[in-house]
Amino acid sequence: MAVQAIRWAQGCLSIVDQTLLPGKLQYITLDTEEDVWNAIQQMKVRGAPAIGCCAAHGLVVGVRDRKPADLQSAKEAVIAVSNHLASARPTAYSLFWALDRMRNCAAQCPEDLSVDTFMERLVKEAHDIQQEDAEMCQLMGNYGAEFIKNGDGILTHCNTGALATGGYGTALSAMFRAHDQGKRFQVYAGETRPLLQGARLTAWELMDAGIDVTLICDNTAAQVMKEGKIQQVFVGADRIAANGDTANKVGTYALAVLAQAHNIPFYVVAPSNTFDAGISNGDTIPIEERCSTEVTHAFGQLTAPPGVSVYCPAFDVTPNTLITAFITERGILKPPYTKAIQWILDPHKLEMA
């Protein structure tokens, strides 16, 4: 793994500022609750699992910053900080999952703990969240690599590598693992408008790993499929509904439609904490809308007429009918998805059909 997106060392939280890549690899320290909120909202840290890991550690930063005098004040600070951080971005389920887990950790602490011991438990919980994510990345990579054959052309969208997670990656983890196994294949990375995560981040990660990658404009996807250069599509996910409808970076839905039209398998690689049992289908997944300047400006340079109307959703929803399989740390899920997803969320309550 060439880069670690989130670090905690000597009580300090630092992240790779992904807005500076690929020109500069720079870690920045997040000293306050507001620093953490801004880093998430401004996409200095991005990718659902990485957002969750950052928020878990960021909650520690925020509680500490409030200097609680006693345990009750510390527990109240946990609620306040988590509510604030949860407002940074609405779609990525890992953000809410991680903050819920941190709140549960705080709530379960006995009332006779000192504030220092309480904070130590929060730090450990945040570390556990990130370590578990790294382990899930490895497992998803192992499962996903089984689908990749020598000579394959693989299309991917946005960034799903180490920069987007607490470990090896989600969709890119399958490619990293397959490459480690000696397989040789060609990855086509869509640029991913408007912020070019595919161009700036995915191409950078794959090149650094020695994987053959070709960058394409987003609107070239149909053509490379028509030319027979794509044998499968691998993408990540930010939130998956109980029926398998999947929210991911805007443009994913179009790729799924194109893949079906060209009879190409379409795989979603995501950890189990991306599945949201509280959302029955994709129609009710909250979709974040981003600032219009992300479309009208390219890195500060105006590229559209001043005052033009802009619609800039950060995500779209791919219907479950277009998804060939989900690749998770617990195995491969195939249609019909509702029962399989129930199992992935709680394998003790439901046996796989």
Q: Give tens-digit pLDDT for 144-198.
A: 999 999 999 999 999 999 999 999 999 999 999 999 999 999 999 999 999 999 9
- What whole-number distance in Å separates Cα of residue 300 and Cα of residue 294? 9
* 194 and 92 within one domain: no
Beta bridge pairs of residue 186: 153
How confident is the model over 35-61, as a mean pLDDT? 98
* 313 and 196 within one domain: yes
* 269 and 201 within one domain: yes
Instruction: State yes or no: is 152 an active-site residue.
Output: no
Q: What is the pLDDT of residue 345?
A: 87
pLDDT digits (tens, 9 = 90+) for 102-135: 999 999 999 999 999 999 999 999 999 999 999 9
Q: Does pLDDT of 4 surpass 80?
A: yes
Q: Does pLDDT of 254 surpass 60?
A: yes
Q: Catalytic one among 35, 218, 238, 276?
A: 238
How confident is the model over 198-217, as a mean pLDDT? 98
At residue 299 the predicted structure's pLDDT band, cuts being 50, 70 and 90, is confident
* 82 and 152 within one domain: no
* 155 and 101 within one domain: no
DSSP 126: H
* 220 and 99 within one domain: no
Percent above pLDDT 70 for the chain: 97
Q: Structure pTM?
A: 0.96
* 171 and 111 within one domain: no
Cis peptide preceding 68, ω within 30 of 0: no
**40, 54 in Cβ contact below 8 A?**
yes
- Provide the mean pLDDT of the chain: 96
Q: What is the pLDDT of residue 1?
A: 57
Number of structural domains found in the chain: 2
* 335 and 200 within one domain: yes
* 191 and 97 within one domain: no
Q: Does pLDDT of 297 surpass 80?
A: yes
- What whole-number distance in Å separates Cα of residue 24 and Cα of residue 204? 11
CATH number of the structural domain spanning residue 277: 3.40.50.10470
Tokens describing residue 347? 């394998």
Q: Does 49 map to a domain?
A: yes
* 297 and 245 within one domain: yes
Sheet holding 12-16, edge to edge: 6-9, 12-16, 27-30
Q: Does pLDDT of 11 surpass 70?
A: yes
CATH number of the structural domain spanning residue 111: 1.20.120.420
Q: What is the pLDDT of residue 347?
A: 66
- What whole-number distance in Å separates Cα of residue 320 and Cα of residue 317? 9
The domain of 220 spans 147-345
* 159 and 78 within one domain: no
* 94 and 35 within one domain: yes
Q: What is the pLDDT of residue 276?
A: 97
Question: Taking the mean position of all CA atoms in its chain, how far away is CA 164?
Answer: 5
**Of the residues 137, 156, 187, which one is the last residue of a structural domain?**
137
Q: What is the CA radius of gyration of the chain?
A: 20
Q: What is the pLDDT of residue 351?
A: 47
